[in-house]
């Protein structure tokens, strides 16, 4: 008998779980409530072994985040279904009259007493405001009501021989199924289009042929740790410079823009960029040299590091000596002559040339001068704390697997070596046995990639293996050692195969 109660309760809990997830995302649209998968993502990443995460990044790229979020949603629904099964068992076994209410109360207690604190929102989620536990209570009230309706449906089916109102029976029978299906459709409507765009059409995938020297903002690569990036309004935002300083600063957006600024053209590359990958873009950034802000704040003796914190909880650090000796490190507030887009860190972000993008937090809120580095988000999972950009080069054209006509074939691509610059680029059409220098366009600044071109005249038809490599400004040749992105960035020569036709 208990098995039947658990099965009936589990089916009711499945429909109710879907309804609760849909209610959660609707509450997010209406009230700004953070969804549970988003809250729990950072703690999950914190306990995931770095090599495992690196393997997933290298093999899944953007799809990894989608799989993670979808998996957490499925886990939430299944957990609520199991809770519903337990409620059904208890109702049948002990004659509870409010099994669904008890299950919803248990779920609410877990969310506000465990999940929200673990996700950094404080006990009961009060760090985000007193409304948070109330909204979660309403979300899980939906679970209770749908579970109760589903339980009464199964009870009505069990008593099919008794004389009842057939219209009421049909309502009780089909309502939870319709609610569950409708909730699943709503969650799909809200999430699936974004997931498809993330996997199929990320911004950096919209360009073809030779990359432009300056990347259009709409195609500038975007990577973050978040399922849902923060949107920070200028009104009410401030940047604090505190810690071991004599004159702490609290700068509004207008205050920051009033500080004398400089403009730099910089190439940024993601540490998870594959060999030959397109998680690399060049932009014209405007902002305030960080060392100028620290000079205004009057750093105290004994300070040795600068720690950053962003609105999404992201953290990073730099040695103070590096900051004070590198005027190119900016608190940037413009990209290509306009305010930073929300996705790129509005109102302000750190820009640290020569380091992978992981070193430059977006949605910057706090700059703390301290005796020692507090460490960064990704470093805590084993990624390289220095994150210096290694020399890299790639083909933009032709593409891997492309068929080209015999004759003059145009080769083109980009090469980047951080602040060291690029001295030469060489290409090979025989799998690396011989190398030929390419032509280089002058870079837009010492902090950017270079665009290279070459003309190849294949001697015969067939399949050819093309490779490219760069030498940085100090004369160091790009390494041919194949390595994944974890922990210091991917390395190796970009290699493509093309077919020469008649």
Whether the predicted pLDDT of 59 surpasses 80: no
Whether the predicted pLDDT of 483 surpasses 60: yes
Altogether, the residues listed in the chain come to a count of 502
Q: How many CB atoms lie within 10 A of CB 393?
A: 27
Rounded to the nearest angstrom, the gap between the alpha carbon of residue 16 and the centroid of all alpha carbons in its chain is 30
Does residue 292 sit in the same domain as residue 337? yes
* Sequence-separated contacts (24+) of 25-29 with Cβ below 8 Å: 25/186, 25/187, 25/190, 25/191, 26/186, 27/135, 27/138, 27/139, 28/228, 29/190
Domain membership of residue 317 (yes or no) is yes
Tell me the backbone φ, ψ of residue 476, rounded to 5 degrees: -85, 125
Domain membership of residue 457 (yes or no) is yes
Task: Quick: pLDDT tens for 229-279.
Answer: 999 999 999 999 999 999 999 999 999 999 999 999 999 999 999 999 999
- The CATH number of whichever domain residue 406 belongs to comes to 2.60.40.650
Does residue 434 sit in the same domain as residue 458? yes
pLDDT at residue number 1: 52
User: E strands along 270-421, which residues?
Assistant: 280-289, 305-310, 315-319, 330-335, 338-339, 349-351, 364-370, 392-397, 403-405, 409-416
Q: Which two tokens stand for residue 455?
A: 């003309």
pLDDT at residue number 337: 96
More confident residue, 253 or 89: 253
Does residue 44 sit in the same domain as residue 187? yes
Domain membership of residue 207 (yes or no) is no
pLDDT at residue number 162: 46
Averaged over 207-225, what is the pLDDT? 91
Does residue 190 sit in the same domain as residue 250? no
What pTM was estimated for this model as a whole?
Answer: 0.86
Q: In the predicted model, what is the mean pLDDT of the chain?
A: 91
SS3 content of the chain, % helix, strand, coil (to 5): 40, 25, 35
Whether the predicted pLDDT of 159 surpasses 60: no
pLDDT at residue number 166: 44
Does residue 306 sit in the same domain as residue 350? yes
The last residue of one of the domains, among 173, 200, 227, is 200
pLDDT at residue number 208: 79
Going by C-alpha positions, the residue among 314, 277, 282, 316 that lies closest to residue 485 is 277
Domain membership of residue 210 (yes or no) is no
The last residue of one of the domains, among 351, 381, 411, is 381
Contact by Cβ (8 Å): 425, 415: yes
Task: Quick: pLDDT tens for 448-462.
Answer: 999 999 999 998 889
Domain membership of residue 362 (yes or no) is yes
Does residue 149 sit in the same domain as residue 228? no
pLDDT at residue number 154: 57
The last residue of one of the domains, among 336, 352, 381, is 381
Range of the domain at 181: 2-200
Does residue 360 sit in the same domain as residue 481? no
Q: Please, is 312 exposed, middle or buried when counting C-beta atoms within 10 Å of its C-beta (0-12, 13-18, 19+)?
A: buried
Does residue 446 sit in the same domain as residue 340? no
Whether the predicted pLDDT of 167 surpasses 70: no
Q: How many domains does the chain fold into?
A: 3
Angle at 451 between CA 61 and CA 261, to 5 degrees: 85
Does residue 187 sit in the same domain as residue 133? yes
Does residue 8 sit in the same domain as residue 124? yes
> Predicted confidence band at 113 (pLDDT cuts at 50, 70, 90)?
very high
Domain membership of residue 313 (yes or no) is yes
Averaged over 34-48, what is the pLDDT? 86
Domain membership of residue 211 (yes or no) is no
Does residue 231 sit in the same domain as residue 351? yes
Does residue 100 sit in the same domain as residue 244? no
Averaged over 46-60, what is the pLDDT? 75
pLDDT at residue number 95: 75
Domain membership of residue 320 (yes or no) is yes
- The CATH number of whichever domain residue 333 belongs to comes to 3.90.420.10
């Amino acid at each position: 008998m208990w098995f039947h109660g658990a099965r009936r309760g589990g089916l009711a809990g499945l429909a109710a779980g879907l309804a609760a997830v849909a209610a959660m995302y609707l509450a997010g649209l209406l009230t700004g409530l953070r969804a549970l998968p988003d809250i729990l993502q950072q703690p999950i990443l914190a306990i995931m072994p770095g090599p495992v995460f690196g393997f997933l990044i290298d093999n899944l790229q953007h799809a990894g985040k989608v799989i993670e979020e979808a998996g957490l949603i499925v886990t939430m629904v299944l957990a609520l279904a199991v809770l519903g099964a337990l409620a059904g068992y208890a109702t049948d076994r002990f004659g509870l009259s409010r099994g669904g209410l008890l299950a919803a109360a248990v779920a609410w207690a877990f969310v506000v007493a465990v999940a929200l604190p673990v996700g950094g929102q404080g006990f009961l989620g009060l760090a985000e405001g007193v409304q948070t536990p109330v909204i979660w209570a309403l979300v899980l009230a939906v679970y209770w009501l749908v579970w109760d309706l589903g339980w009464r449906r199964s009870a009505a089916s069990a008593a099919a021989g008794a004389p009842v109102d057939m219209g009421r029976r049909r309502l009780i029978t089909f309502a939870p199924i319709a609610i569950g299906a409708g909730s699943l459709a709503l969650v799909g409507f809200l999430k699936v289009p974004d997931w498809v765009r993330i996997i199929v059409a990320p911004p950096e995938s919209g360009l073809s042929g030779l990359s432009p020297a300056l990347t259009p903002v709409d195609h500038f690569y975007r990577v973050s740790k978040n399922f849902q990036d923060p949107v920070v309004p200028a009104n009410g935002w401030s940047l604090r410079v505190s810690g071991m300083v004599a004159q702490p600063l609290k700068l509004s957006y207008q205050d920051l823009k009033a500080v004398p600024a400089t403009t730099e053209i910089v190439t940024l590359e993601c540490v998870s960029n594959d060999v030959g990958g397109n998680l690399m873009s060049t932009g014209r950034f405007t902002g305030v040299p960080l060392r100028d802000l620290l000079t205004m704040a009057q750093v105290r003796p004994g300070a040795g590091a600068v720690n950053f914190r962003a609105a999404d909880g992201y953290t990073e650090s730099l040695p103070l000596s590096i900051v004070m000796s590198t005027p190119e490190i900016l608190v940037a507030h413009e990209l290509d002559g306009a305010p930073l887009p929300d996705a790129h860190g509005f109102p302000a972000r750190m820009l640290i040339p020569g380091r992978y993008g992981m070193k430059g937090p977006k949605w910057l809120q706090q700059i703390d001068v301290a005796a020692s580095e507090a460490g960064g988000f990704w470093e805590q999972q084993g990624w390289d704390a220095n994150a210096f950009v290694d020399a890299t080069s790639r083909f933009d054209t032709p593409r891997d697997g492309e068929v080209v006509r015999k004759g003059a074939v145009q080769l083109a691509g980009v090469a980047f070596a951080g602040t060291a610059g690029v001295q030469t680029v060489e290409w090979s059409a025989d799998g690396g046995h011989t190398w030929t220098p390419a032509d280089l366009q002058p870079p837009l600044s010492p902090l950017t990639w270079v665009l290279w071109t070459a003309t190849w005249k294949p001697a015969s038809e067939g399949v050819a293996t093309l490779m490219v490599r760069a030498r940085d400004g100090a004369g160091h040749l790009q390494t041919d050692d194949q390595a994944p992105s974890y922990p210091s960035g991917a390395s190796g020569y970009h290699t493509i195969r093309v077919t020469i036709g008649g």
